[in-house]
């Protein structure tokens, strides 16, 4: 199928929360979230079987997450993307490549996570190349904030991990600062709290683009700690990718 075959199932005036064809639609500027409650991962319309859940935010065109869903069919994957043109491409890839263990969330990441992702049910979170919004006046648009970190901590299981990938050095420092400051996370790497390679991590449009331009890629990894009173105690053992 082609991306254009996915049609947004409502107009702006009649927008609503909707679960259809493996996509959760959470419209912008919609506030009636209390009227739509889901035990999301256990619904048969979401996943065919129970399995560990991994979320990717900023899924873009879906190249990375579709590859991972096919590579690890023993996991359930969730791709979150706020641009509908990109959601269409993820949807098309999922259908054409048979990634039946991939669920798509269309909407703003924090809103969707806060209202629809159940607490302590997620094993892994990935954020691949979030927009750094480098100008100060645009900082409010950045995904990586204290609020986002708190929502990720809420949905992660104890010991669950978050991996954040960026080519932007300044944004890497912001990302590290946000998660170091959160009492529920411990860095998986010593200072300077990032590495420049993860074996078999996979690729995406932006990964190929920035590497092709000679940019250095930074991998920041944190793990949820059981004792929130301990900010930077001994971290859990670093898991192998895909384990």
How confident is the model over 162-188, as a mean pLDDT?
Answer: 96
Instruction: Name the 3-class secondary structure at 167.
Output: coil
pLDDT at 133 over 80: no
Rounded to whole angstroms, how far apart are CA atoms 41 and 24?
12
Q: What percent of the chain has pLDDT over 70?
A: 92
Mean pLDDT value across the chain: 90
Rounded to two decimals, what is the model's pTM? 0.90
**pLDDT tens for each residue of 47-67:** 999 999 999 999 999 999 999
| Cβ-based neighbours of 127, under 8 Å, separated by 6 or more | 56, 57, 58, 143, 144, 162, 163, 164, 165
How confident is the model over 72-95, as a mean pLDDT?
Answer: 97
140 is in an annotated binding site: no
Q: According to the model, what pLDDT value does residue 36 have?
A: 74
Selected catalytic residue, list 85, 100, 123, 131: 131
100 is in an annotated binding site: no
Rounded to whole angstroms, how far apart are CA atoms 7 and 9?
6
Structure tokens at 134: 């480098």
Q: According to the model, what pLDDT value does residue 241 have?
A: 47
- Tell me if the bond preceding 101 is cis, omega within 30° of 0: no
pLDDT at 37 over 80: no
196: annotated active-site residue? no
124 is in an annotated binding site: no
167 is in an annotated binding site: yes
pLDDT at 156 over 50: yes
What helix, strand, coil percent values describe the chain, rounded to 5?
30, 20, 45
pLDDT at 139 over 50: yes
């Amino acid at each position: 199928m082609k991306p254009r075959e996915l049609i947004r199932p409502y107009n702006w005036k009649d927008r609503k929360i909707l679960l259809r064809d493996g996509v959760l639609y959470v419209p912008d500027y919609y506030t009636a979230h209390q009227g739509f409650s889901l035990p999301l991962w256990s619904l048969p319309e979401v996943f065919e079987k129970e399995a560990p859940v991994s979320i990717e935010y900023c899924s873009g065109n879906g190249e990375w997450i579709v590859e991972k869903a096919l590579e690890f069919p023993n996991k359930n994957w969730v791709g979150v993307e706020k641009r509908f043109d990109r959601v269409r491409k993820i949807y098309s890839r999922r259908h054409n490549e048979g990634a039946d263990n991939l669920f798509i969330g269309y909407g703003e990441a924090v809103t969707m996570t806060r209202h629809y992702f159940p607490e302590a049910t997620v094993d892994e979170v990935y954020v691949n190349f979030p927009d750094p919004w480098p100008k100060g006046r645009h900082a409010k648009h950045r995904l990586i904030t204290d609020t986002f970190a708190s929502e990720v901590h809420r949905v992660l299981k104890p010991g669950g991990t978050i991996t954040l990938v960026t080519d932007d050095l300044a944004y890497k420092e912001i990302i590290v600062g946000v998660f170091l400051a959160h009492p529920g996370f411990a860095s998986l790497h010593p200072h300077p709290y990032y590495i420049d390679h993860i074996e078999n991590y996979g690729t995406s449009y932006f990964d190929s683009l920035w590497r092709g331009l000679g940019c250095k890629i930074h991998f920041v990894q944190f793990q949820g700690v059981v004792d929130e009173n301990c900010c930077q105690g001994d971290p859990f053992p670093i898991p192998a990718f895909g384990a």
